[in-house]
C-alpha cells in the first residue's frame, strides 16, 4: 500500500489544523458532530490578516463526498466562498500549505475541479469509506 493509503482522514485533520494554526488561521472543528445536521465541511477557518474564510472537507485517499456534503460544497462555491476537498495527496504535494498561505488565483484552483473529477470516478460501496463517512 502506498503512503497515501495509510494516511487516515483523522490524521489529515490533525495535520491541517496544526499547520493552519501555525499560519495564523483560527480553525473550528466539531469533534462530535452526531447531533448536527450533516454536510458542513470538516474544517471552517478564518484568517483576519488574509481576510479569508475557508471551508474544507477532508477525505481519505478514496473517500467520497456524501450528497449532503456535495450540496454544501455547491452552495458555498455558488456563494463565492473558498470550499475545498482535501485528501492525503493534497498534503503530500504541498497543495494544502499553498492554499493556507495564499488564496488561489483562478476559479479552477478554488473549485479544485481535478479533485471533483476523481471523486465521481471512485467506485461506490467501499465499506471502509462508508464507515468513515458516517463518522466525519
Under rule CB under 5 A, residue 42 binds Mg ion: yes
Q: Residues near 59 by Cβ (< 8 Å), separated by ≥ 6?
A: 9, 65, 85, 86, 87, 119, 132
Distances (CA, A) of 24 to 18, 45, 51: 10, 10, 11
Tell the smallest beta-carbon distance from residue 105 to Mg ion (Å).
Answer: 26
Under rule CB under 5 A, residue 64 binds Mg ion: no
Total of chain residues touching Mg ion, rule CB under 5 A: 3
Under rule CB under 5 A, residue 136 binds Mg ion: yes
Tell the smallest beta-carbon distance from residue 60 to Mg ion (Å).
Answer: 8
CB atoms within 10 A of CB 121: 7
Q: Which stretch binds Mg ion (CB under 5 A): 31-39, 55-63, 83-91, 114-122?
A: 55-63
Amino acid at each position: 500500500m502506498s503512503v497515501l493509503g495509510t494516511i487516515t482522514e483523522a490524521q489529515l485533520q490533525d495535520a491541517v489544523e496544526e499547520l493552519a494554526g501555525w499560519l495564523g488561521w483560527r480553525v473550528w472543528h466539531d469533534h462530535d458532530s452526531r447531533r448536527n445536521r450533516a454536510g458542513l465541511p470538516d474544517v471552517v477557518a478564518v484568517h483576519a490578516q488574509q481576510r479569508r474564510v475557508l471551508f474544507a472537507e477532508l477525505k481519505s485517499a478514496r473517500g467520497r463526498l456524501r450528497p449532503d456534503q456535495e450540496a454544501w460544497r455547491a452552495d458555498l462555491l455558488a456563494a463565492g466562498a473558498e470550499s475545498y476537498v482535501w485528501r492525503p495527496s493534497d498534503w503530500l504535494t504541498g497543495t494544502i500549505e499553498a492554499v493556507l498561505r495564499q488564496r488561489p488565483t483562478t476559479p479552477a484552483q478554488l473549485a479544485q475541479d481535478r479533485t471533483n473529477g476523481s471523486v465521481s470516478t471512485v467506485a461506490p460501496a467501499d465499506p471502509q469509506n462508508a464507515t468513515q463517512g458516517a463518522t466525519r
